Amino acid sequence: MDWLAKTEPDIVCLQELKAEQRAFPADTLRSLGYRAVWQGERSWNGVAILARDHDPVLTRSSLPGNPQDRQARYIEAAVNGILIASIYLPNGNPQPGPKFNYKLAWFERLIAHASELMTAGVPVVLAGDYNVVPTAEDIYQTRSLDNNALVQPQSRQAFARLLSQGWTDALRRLHPDGPLWTFWDYERDRWTANKGMRLDHFLLSPTMCDRLVDGGVDREVRGEENASDHAPAWIVLDL
């Protein structure tokens, strides 16, 4: 709430709500001018899209391709003429194993749906926690995480295949060089040592790419008491 009041973003994508549907604080958010659509899940996962002074028009509350998958990891809405997706891609650890297989299968479904969105030619922003470190430049120098699902070749190849459809990695386009961490693990004092990684991405369709003005990470939020291990990432689009 403090971050929303301070920065006043027009659209906000949230992941890992850890709240069931009825527990989402819609009234509290409305007091700051934000209306929302969300998909909650008890104890785990959960995604939401907030819009300031607009009503998001829900278009999807789950990722197509597997009707039996009930995990709340994808939500999509139209806001002010733009299609916005809030994505919480599976972590996939430990790997190898069922959780990693689920991650890769979920990724395939995302690639298929993103291809349909690209073909439709509508303005799209695919935003969220992809749980993928795209390249070696997107993580601090370490060998301790070589077996982590976030950095596996299969995870990186899936992300690259997604980009190859024509999506633009907005933050990396704006900041082509150097660290751009969005996540610092709670363990081993990684925040104070600035041992981070880039897991949170904005992928823009071609028409949106031309409107990209600015972007970054509000890393100071990560240092606040009881902070998330992710810091808010943001972009500015000239509409």
pLDDT tens per residue, range 4-20: 999 999 999 999 999 99
Considering only the C-alpha atoms of the chain, give the largest distance between any 2 of them, rounded to a whole number of Å: 46
Domains within the chain, CATH numbers bracketed: 89-237 (3.60.10.10)
Look at the block and give the residue holding tokens 């935003």: 127
- What's the pLDDT at 98? 98
Burial class of 235 by CB neighbour count within 10 A (0 to 12, 13 to 18, 19+):
buried
- What's the pLDDT at 178? 83
In the structure encoding, which two tokens stand for residue 62, read together?
């789950």
DSSP 120-159: HT--EEEEEE-----SGGGB-S-STTTT-GGG-HHHHHHH
User: pTM of the predicted model, to two decimals?
Assistant: 0.97
Segments of the chain scoring below 50 in pLDDT: none
> Residue 111: what are its φ and ψ, rounded to 5°?
-60, -40
b/e 114-124 (16+ beta carbons within 10 angstroms → b): beebbeeeebb
- What's the pLDDT at 45? 97
In what helix (H) or strand (E) does residue 216 lie, and over which residues does it extend?
A: strand 212-217
